[in-house]
Structures are given as structure tokens and as C-alpha cells.
């Protein structure tokens, strides 16, 4: 019999960070532990990384769902059905069960990455802020060795953001620095195409979610006419049925999709998205969503099994003052797993 427990944990950000959901100073999460009565000394650990205001499972009954899984875990096939619309809980359970299966050593998806023999290229993330604040962050990322930078736009005046991007391009051309931007749905439908044309003059790689999610026909038209590749992100949240996923992708036909396992159906749901996208010749990459190192580790190991050549949008574990110590290490713009560094999870 498998036994489960959930422990609330509040992550403390080192500095207030601007997101599309406002400025964050803390991030609540739950650590899940799974034990097998037959091997009680081995503990599988995962993270139910709810993102308040963004996750489709940000519901009043969230804690009740967690409680329904304790202390005895339902059969695994039943579990996946029950948690289909609770991606952050499914994400945590998938991680903990895989960890338990692999000996409770935080090895979720064994590969050359988890063996310390390969690395994952990642983009440098620039948080929303004033023009000067964002420019300082960009300079820091370039000095750290990042060749791909992602900027969140839509928080300040569009003209100011355009000037910021132009100033980067004056110093670094597209062969030096790949630029991705994320609008988080900030553009109005009637002005989106014109803004995309202006942005496309700056040799950007892509733009995430230019208009608000849920406007399929407008997004379809935009994706068919855009001069700049469009990547869907928030558009995928809450679309957990396989047929609905097919309908969304075949209708909108984006150039890319961006997968966040804790938001987009766990690893099983994200794998569904990948299979559908590749069948339609749609590109993809993965992104973390402010998880602790427990969740980040699982996402990084999952990414490594897919062998994507694109820089992934993975965090570095350095956002929080009280994150869990882990073997995840950043060398330049490469995320690595240092097998000589121990885990530090004391709960």
C-alpha cells in the first residue's frame, strides 16, 4: 500500500519579481511524500506547484483534493483520471511516484543529464520592471554568458519596450543574442498585428501569447498573418482533454507551443501536447513556472529525455532565499546536474 502526505511550504523570493499576475514576494507550494509499506525507508518526493491566479486548478477545493489522496493513495490508473483537471497535483504525484520507483534519490527521469554527462541550454529571463531595471538585468545575463534572452513585455509603455529592444539590437545582432518576448496576452486584438510587424524588425525569435487566451479565431488569424513566430502559453491552460487539445492546435496552428508541466497536465499531459504538436509540425519548448528545486529538477530531467536543441525556459533555483539545496548547477547558460552535490530537503 502506498502512503501519501502533503506539507505546505512557502518560498521566499530574494527580491520582489514582476509577473503577469502582479509582483510576487512569496510563492506557496506543497511538497508531497510517498512511501510504500513494503519499503518504508524509501521516500518519493514531488511538488504540487500551484500557481495562484494562473493554474486551472486554483480552486477552493484544492486542499480537499490533496486530503482525499491521504493517507492511502488510490490505484495509480484511477489517480491519473481523478487528477486530470488538477495539473499541479498530478505533476507532484508523477514526480513523487517516479522518484519512489527509482529509489528515492530524486532521479525522476534517468538520462545522461541526471548522470551529470550532459547539460540543457536555457534562456535568461528578464523580469518585468522599468526600462532601466530591465536593461540592467539584460546586461547581467549577457555577462553571465547567455546567448538567448527572454523579456516579458506589456507591463510598461510599448514604445519604451520597443526602444529597449532596439538598444539591445544596436549592441548585439541576432547571431550574438537570440531574443524572445512574452506579452502575456497584453495586446488588444485590433492592434496586435501592427505591433508584431514593428517587433519583427528587431530579428526576434518569437513572441509568446500576444493576445489574451480564449480568442481562438483571432489567434488563428494572427498566427496565419504574423511576420513573427507566435508561441502559445496561457492558451493551453485548462485544456486537458486530448480531443480538445487536437481541436485547439489544428484550429489555431501556432508556430510554437510552450509547455509548463505543472500547468499543462503534468508530464503525461505535456507529452500529449508534444505528440500532437509534432504531428502538425509545430515547434515547442518547456518552461518552469516558479517551482522550487524539487519541481525544477523533475522538469529539467523530463526535458533532457526529449533531446530538444532549443534553449529551454528553465529556472536556475536562485530566485528564493529558502529553496531546497540540489545538484542543479548553472554553468554559463547551461543547466547541469552535479552528481557530487547532495540534496538538502529537511521537512
Catalogue the active-site residues: 152, 260
Q: Provide CB contacts within 8 A for 287, sequence distance 6+.
A: 233, 258, 259, 260, 312, 313, 314
- Can you read off the three cell numbers belonging to residue 225? 498573418
- Can you read off the three cell numbers belonging to residue 52? 495562484
**Strand 230-232 with 256-259, pairing:** parallel
Please state, in angstroms and as integers, the Cα–Cα distance from residue 153 to each residue in 18, 108, 180, 210, following that order: 11, 34, 10, 10
- Can you read off the three cell numbers belonging to residue 236? 493551453
164: region left, alpha or beta (phi > 0 left; psi from -120 to 50 alpha): alpha
With the CA atoms of 73, 78, 82 and 84 taken in that order, what torsion angle do they form, in degrees rounded to the nearest 10?
Answer: 120
256 three-state secondary structure: strand
Amino acid at each position: 500500500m502506498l502512503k501519501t502526505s502533503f506539507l505546505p511550504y512557502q518560498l521566499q523570493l530574494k527580491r520582489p519579481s514582476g509577473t503577469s499576475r502582479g509582483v510576487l514576494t512569496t510563492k506557496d507550494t506543497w511538497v508531497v511524500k510517498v512511501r510504500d509499506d513494503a519499503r518504508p525507508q524509501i521516500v518519493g518526493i514531488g511538488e504540487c506547484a500551484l500557481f495562484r491566479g494562473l493554474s486551472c486548478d486554483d480552486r477552493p477545493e484544492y486542499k480537499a483534493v490533496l486530503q482525499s489522496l491521504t493517507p492511502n493513495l488510490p490505484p495509480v490508473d484511477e489517480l491519473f483520471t481523478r487528477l486530470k483537471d488538477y495539473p499541479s497535483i498530478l505533476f507532484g504525484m508523477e514526480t513523487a511516484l517516479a522518484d519512489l520507483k527509482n529509489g528515492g534519490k530524486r532521479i525522476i527521469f534517468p538520462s545522461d543529464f541526471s548522470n551529470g554527462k550532459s547539460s540543457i541550454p536555457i534562456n535568461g529571463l528578464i523580469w518585468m520592471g522599468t526600462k532601466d531595471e530591465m536593461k540592467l538585468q539584460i546586461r547581467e545575463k549577457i555577462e553571465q554568458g547567455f546567448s538567448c534572452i527572454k523579456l516579458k513585455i506589456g507591463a510598461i509603455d510599448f514604445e519604451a519596450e520597443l526602444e529597449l529592444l532596439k538598444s539591445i539590437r544596436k549592441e548585439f545582432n541576432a547571431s550574438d543574442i537570440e531574443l524572445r518576448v512574452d506579452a502575456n496576452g497584453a495586446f488588444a486584438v485590433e492592434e496586435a498585428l501592427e505591433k508584431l510587424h514593428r517587433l519583427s524588425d528587431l530579428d526576434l525569435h518569437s513572441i509568446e501569447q500576444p493576445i489574451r487566451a480564449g480568442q481562438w479565431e483571432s489567434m488563428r488569424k494572427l498566427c496565419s498573418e504574423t511576420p513573427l513566430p507566435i508561441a502559445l502559453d496561457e492558451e493551453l491552460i485548462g485544456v486537458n482533454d486530448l480531443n480538445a487539445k487536437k481541436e485547439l492546435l489544428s484550429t489555431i496552428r501556432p508556430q510554437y507551443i510552450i509547455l509548463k508541466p505543472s500547468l499543462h497536465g503534468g508530464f503525461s499531459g505535456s507529452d500529449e501536447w508534444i505528440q500532437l504538436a509534432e504531428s502538425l509540425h509545430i515547434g515547442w519548448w518547456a518552461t518552469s513556472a516558479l517551482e522550487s528545486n524539487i519541481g525544477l529538477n523533475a522538469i529539467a530531467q523530463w526535458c533532457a529525455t526529449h533531446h530538444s536543441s532549443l534553449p529551454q525556459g528553465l529556472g536556475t533555483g536562485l530566485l528564493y532565499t529558502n529553496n531546497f539545496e540540489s545538484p542543479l548547477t548553472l554553468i554559463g547558460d547551461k543547466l547541469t546536474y552535479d552528481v557530487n552535490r547532495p540534496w538538502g530537503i529537511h521537512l
